[in-house]
Amino acid sequence: MFTYYVRLGIKSMHRNPILSALMVVALALGIGACMTTLTVYYLMSGNPVPHKSDQLYAVQLDGWDPNAQPTQGPQDVQPQLTYMDAQNLMSAQTPALQQAAMFRSSLVVQPEDDDAVPFQNSVRATYHTFFDMFDVPFIYGNAWTQGEDQQGARIVVLGKALNEQLFGGENSVGRDIRLSDQLYRVIGVIDEWQPTPRFYDVVTSSFADVASLFIPFKTAVDLELNPNGNVNCWKPLDDSTNAAFLRSECVWVQFWAELSTPTAADAYFDYLNNYSREQQGFGRFQRPINNFISPVMEWMDVNQVVSTDNRVLVRLSFLFLAVCVLNTVGLLLAKFMGKAPEVALRRSMGATRQAIFTQNLFEVATIGVLGGVFGIALAWLGLRLVENIYRGYQHLVAMDWMILLISMLIAVVASIIAGLYPVWRTTRIPPAQYLKIQ
């Protein structure tokens, strides 16, 4: 019976090819539009470190201008720390399993080959704990050690692509590389790693590429590398020397702590509050204590990583899908009205209502499946379009099995909603009325 119904469905679509095509196109457009916006939304709001996102906490201290507006929630407090506070926390014994301070900068890579043109690359200056905390996968070598952090050693961890470019993908551990006129020794090469969103630094761009160079924090500070992100100051610097910048109240360092249990999180939070009180004793932090620690997903919310534009587009695209579904309902009603004589005849030959329902459901399902398949194809095109018009979104336009599953689900639900009423109506056709004249 299955093949019979499929055959009848195809024949019936053949009978009104334009009407059938209109329905498929309408459904496909609706599904395509929804899938495009949903994919971007899904990836924007995705969990970049699913297995430990509830153990990694962004740290905020409120040591801002005493004359500025009072702060309420974490969205009001500066998202970054001063260099001083980052240093103090990194060197203290805290209840955290491990902590990492970090900032983004850039360096000029000077290939050994004199003919090769030097190029700029972004670099993340951080601590050895970064790699373990965020589960960064290594191909060659390892993260540097605590000792090397303290020395400010001239060592670097390379990204996979940069290692390909500079060393042809070989194990480059132990080799030297010249960056902005300084020699660094390669200590490790990491594998493909692109948390989306790039949760540990959402201040400037949440969906940018991960840096392809990692160097110890102290090394970067010693070499006076400029932070390439937001630097916010409320108090003038003593002078324009780097030392004055480092001891200033300017915030520019991102700070993370790994807290494996809620108890540890509470203890760490208390620790921060004590730290603030201690600083108040030194004349800093002249505001009410208002510190925050936020696990990854909360941090994404605080920083509005999913843009409101995308949220608006998701809403609008669902309304668009609603119009497409209504459109299909209308066309199906019309179409099935044209099928009334056939339905009447089948009823006269003893077809039950259930049989009529099933037969027409197959037709609707065929349209739904076609709409779904074309819809996914359109979504793919839509994503290419999004990629094209939003630069830097290349990580947001990938389709995975989860998205395909959701697409199929939306396609099925949409076509069932569109088809159920028209199909039900066919079972209510009074046969006698349609048999006399055809």
Partner 1 sequence: MLKMQNISKVYRTDLIETYALREFDLEVNEGEFIAVTGPSGSGKTTFLNIAGLLETFDHGEYSLDGENVSQLNDYQRSRLRNEKVGFIFQSFNLIPDLDLFDNVDVPLRYRRMSGRARKQAIEGMLEMVGLASRKNYLPSQLSGGQQQRVAIARALAGKPRFLLADEPTGNLDSLMARQVMDLLESINEQGTTIVMVTHDHELARRADRNIQILDGQVSDLASIYQARTERIAAGE
Partner 2 sequence: MEFRPILSALMRNKAGALLIALQIAITLAVVTNALYILKQRQTHINRPTGIEATADAFVIYTRVFRNDINIEQLVDDDLLKIRALADLQAVTPIQSVPVSGGGWGEDFYLSQDQSSDQSVGFGNFMVNQDGVEALGLDLIEGRNFSTEEITFRSPVETVYPRIVLISKPLANALFPDGDALGQLVYDELNSPHPTRIIGIYENMPNAWPNATMFENSALMPQISASNDVRYWIRAKPGRRDQLMTEVEQLLGLDRNRIILGNRTFEEVKARTYRNDIAMVKLLSGVVALLTMVTAMGIIGLAWFSVTQRRKQIGTRRALGAHKMDILRYFMIENWLITSAGLAIGIVLTLALNYFLDTNFQTGRLVWYYIPVGMLFLWLLGQLAVLAPARKAANTDPALATRSV
| Contacts with partner 1, residue ranges (CB under 8 A) | 1, 4, 11-12, 14-15, 341-342, 345-355, 430-432, 435-438
Of 15-23, 53-61, 123-131, 359-367, which part binds partner 2 (CB under 8 A)? 15-23
Minimum Å gap between C-beta 98 and partner 2 is: 32
Q: Which of 1, 2, 17, 67 binds partner 2 (CB under 8 A)?
A: 67
Residue 236 site contact among partner 1, partner 2, none (CB < 5 to 8 Å, cut-off depends on kind): partner 2
Report the site for partner 2 in 196-255 (rule: CB under 8 A): 234, 236-237, 239-241
Nearer to partner 1, 124 or 346 (CB): 346
191 binds partner 2 (CB under 8 A): no
Give the tokens for residue 179. Answer: 């960056």
Q: Which of 6, 19, 49, 373 binds partner 2 (CB under 8 A)?
A: 19
Residue 93 site contact among partner 2, partner 1, none (CB < 5 to 8 Å, cut-off depends on kind): none
Q: Which of 313, 344, 361, 403 binds partner 2 (CB under 8 A)?
A: 313
Residue 326 site contact among partner 2, partner 1, none (CB < 5 to 8 Å, cut-off depends on kind): partner 2
377 binds partner 2 (CB under 8 A): no
CA-closest candidate to residue 102, choices 115, 89, 111: 89
Q: Which of 334, 377, 405, 409 binds partner 2 (CB under 8 A)?
A: 334
Hey, is 303 helix, strand or coil? coil
Q: Which residues contact 329 (CB under 8 A, 6 or more apart)?
A: 417, 418, 419, 421, 422
**Cβ contact 182:192 at 8 Å:** no
Minimum Å gap between C-beta 339 and partner 1 is: 10
Distance CA 89, CA 274 (A): 12
**Cβ contact 170:147 at 8 Å:** no
Distance CA 188, CA 57 (A): 26
Hey, is 258 helix, strand or coil? strand
Asked whether the CA dihedral 257, 260, 262, 263 is positive or negative, the reply is negative
137 binds partner 2 (CB under 8 A): no
Nearer to partner 2, 65 or 278 (CB): 65
Residue 416 site contact among partner 2, partner 1, none (CB < 5 to 8 Å, cut-off depends on kind): none
Residue given tokens 């099933």 in the structure block: 358
Phi, psi of 425 (to 5 degrees): -60, -35
**Cβ contact 98:132 at 8 Å:** yes
Phi, psi of 185 (to 5 degrees): -100, 135
How many CB atoms neighbour CB 296 within 10 A? 23
CA-closest candidate to residue 132, choices 268, 256, 299: 256
Distance CA 358, CA 424 (A): 10
Q: Where are the alpha helices (DSSP H) in 136-197?
A: 146-151, 160-167
Residue 129 site contact among partner 2, partner 1, none (CB < 5 to 8 Å, cut-off depends on kind): none
430 binds partner 2 (CB under 8 A): no
Nearer to partner 1, 335 or 346 (CB): 346
Phi, psi of 345 (to 5 degrees): -60, -45
Of 79-87, 130-138, 140-148, 322-330, which part binds partner 2 (CB under 8 A)? 322-330
Nearer to partner 1, 312 or 435 (CB): 435
Minimum Å gap between C-beta 36 and partner 2 is: 9
312 binds partner 2 (CB under 8 A): yes
Q: Which of 10, 75, 118, 384 binds partner 2 (CB under 8 A)?
A: 118
How many CB atoms neighbour CB 34 within 10 A? 28
Q: Could you tell me if residue 67 is left (phi over 0), alpha (psi between -120 and 50 degrees) or otherwise beta?
A: alpha
Residue 115 site contact among partner 2, partner 1, none (CB < 5 to 8 Å, cut-off depends on kind): none
Nearer to partner 1, 5 or 285 (CB): 5
DSSP string covering 97-122, please? SEEEEEEEEEEEEE-SSTTSPPEEEE
With residue 27 as reference, give the H or E element that holds it: helix 17-44
Q: Which of 24, 33, 414, 429 binds partner 2 (CB under 8 A)?
A: 33
65 binds partner 2 (CB under 8 A): yes
Binding site for partner 2 (CB under 8 A): 18-19, 22, 25-26, 29-30, 33, 65, 67-68, 108, 110, 117-120, 180-181, 234, 236-237, 239-241, 307-309, 311-313, 315-317, 319-320, 322-324, 326-327, 329-331, 333-335, 337-338, 385-386, 389-391, 425, 437
